[in-house]
Amino acid sequence: MQLLLLLIMILLPIIAQINVTSTFNKYSRVSNSRGLTADQVARMILDSNGLHHIQIEHISGNLSDHFDPQANVVRLSDSCYGLTSVAAIGVAAHECCHAWQHAENYTPIVLRSKLVPVTNLCSRLWYFVLLIGVFISSIAARAGMPFLYASIIMFAAVVVFQIVTLPCEFNASDRALKTLERDGILEMSEVPQAQKVLKAAALTYVASLVTSIIQLLRLLASARRR
């Protein structure tokens, strides 16, 4: 069973990443019928929701697109900015809908933002705390337990963050697809193509969460054995 769980932890994120890359590449070769670029669509969606103050920037990288709520900027990568593909437009619309979520104080996105500082700290430190606990436990078993449990609590905080992230991602994709269809940005035949791209991207978050939950269970089981 331990070997099976380990294989799932290793393979699931890899499969999800391969899926999102292949799906994006497939639909990055399909241009939208209106000839709109991803940054143009982003501006349209932001303006239609009264988010005129949100800027759009071009950044380097592939699928590194994101919304920065601190700077009020939607950043589109080389794989999206200035491109007319259905895949690029789907991703750009998704990121703009994160900005929309922040603007209306969508509960999961507000909670996620509040968890960011704690999660960043816990994600960086939990493994080091675990190693300290294992080292001390090798000398004096009970003395290392507080560190082991502290590392588990810290990792659990990361899992909670990932759980809160899921509704943010699914909701942003849902808003994006509805906007692309309602506003006639994509043709009816193109919307399902954008949907496949966004679904593949969402599944990477699901895979990450499943992997983290398995890791958390393994940590708890290891602590109980001690």
pLDDT, tens digit (0-9, with 9 covering 90-100), for 121-134: 999 999 999 999 99
Instruction: Give the closest residue to 132 by CA, choosing from 142, 149, 120, 144.
Output: 144
How high is the pLDDT of residue 226?
Answer: 66
pLDDT at 140 over 90: no
Instruction: Give the closest residue to 197 by CA, choosing from 93, 57, 72, 122.
Output: 93
pLDDT tens track for 28-85? 999 999 999 999 999 999 999 999 999 999 999 999 999 999 999 999 999 999 999 9
Q: What is the mean pLDDT of residues 97-103?
A: 98
Please return the burial class of 101, using the count of CB atoms within 10 Å of its CB with bins 0-12, 13-18 and 19+: buried
Q: In degrees rounded to 5, what are phi and psi of residue 111?
A: -65, -40
Residue 222 banded pLDDT, cuts 50, 70, 90: confident
Catalytic site residue from 57, 95, 181, 190: 95
Q: What is the mean pLDDT of residues 89-117?
A: 97
Return d(Cα 93, Cα 41) in angstroms, integer.
7
pLDDT tens track for 152-176? 999 999 999 999 999 999 999 999 9
Tell me whether residue 95 is one of the annotated catalytic residues: yes
Residues forming a β-bridge with 89: none
Cβ proximity of 95 and 65 under 8 Å: yes
Cβ proximity of 100 and 48 under 8 Å: no
Global pTM? 0.92
pLDDT tens track for 192-221? 999 999 999 999 999 999 999 999 999 999
